[in-house]
Amino acid sequence: MNRILKIALDFILLIVAYFRFCYKPWRANGRKTLVVNTLMYVYLSLVLFVTLMPVVASLPGIFNHPYKPMQMIPFDDLIHKRGDALRQILLNTVMTIPFGFLLPLVKKQSIFTCILWTFLFSLAIELLQPLLNGLRSADVTDLITNTAGGIIGYAGYLLLKPYYLKIEKKF
C-alpha cells in the first residue's frame, strides 16, 4: 500500500470518529462548542498528519525495528550546526501555538495546566514517532520548543480574549 493510501486511511478513520463520537455531543452543547472543538479536532488531525501518519498501516510493524532512544541533549543539533536545526526549532514552536491558543477555548485552563497539557501532547508525539516509523527519532529539543509554542499560544489567547468574548456573545 503506498503512503498516500495509508494516510488516506488514517484521515477516513478520523472523519468517521469525528461524526460517530464528537459531532452530535458538541452540536448539542451549542454552536460555540461545536466550532471551537471542531477547530481543535482539525488542528490535532493535521498535527498527526505532520508528525505520526501513517498510523494504522504502521501498527503491525511497530516492533519490527529498533526503538531509537530519545536525544536528551537540548539543542544539540543547533549547537553543532547539524542539518536544519534552526528551521526545526521554529517549526516545532509554531506547530503548538494553535494548541496553546485553542486549549483554553475548548476548556478553561490556567497557564500551568496549558503548559502541562502541551508538554504531555508533545511527549506523546515524541515517544510514538520512533515506534511508528523506525526512521524517526525523539528529541528533548522538540519537547522544549513545542512547550514554548504552547506558552506563546496561551499568551495569544490572553491577548485576544476580549475580542473572543465579544464574538462569543454573538453565538
Residue 150 above 70 pLDDT?
Answer: yes
Residue 171 confidence (pLDDT): 67
Share of the chain above pLDDT 90, in %: 89
Mean pLDDT of the chain: 96
In the chain the beta strands, taken as DSSP E runs, fall at none
Question: For residues 132 and 119, what is the distance between their CA atoms, to the nearest angstrom?
Answer: 20
Question: For residues 158 and 71, what is the distance between their CA atoms, to the nearest angstrom?
Answer: 33
Question: For residues 166 and 12, what is the distance between their CA atoms, to the nearest angstrom?
Answer: 35
Q: In terms of residue numbers, what domain contains 73?
A: 3-170
Place 169 in a pLDDT band, splitting at 50, 70 and 90.
Answer: confident
Instruction: Tell me how many domains the chain contains.
Output: 1
Residues 78-93: pLDDT tens digits?
999 999 999 999 999 9
Question: For residues 11 and 131, what is the distance between their CA atoms, to the nearest angstrom?
Answer: 20
For residues 96 and 149, the answer to whether their CB atoms sit within 8 Å is: yes
Q: Which three cell numbers stand for residue 90?
A: 521554529
Question: For residues 156 and 169, what is the distance between their CA atoms, to the nearest angstrom?
Answer: 20
Residue 104 confidence (pLDDT): 98
Residues 62-80: pLDDT tens digits?
989 888 889 999 999 999 9
Q: Which residues make Cβ contacts (< 8 Å) with residue 42, sequence separation at least 6? A: none
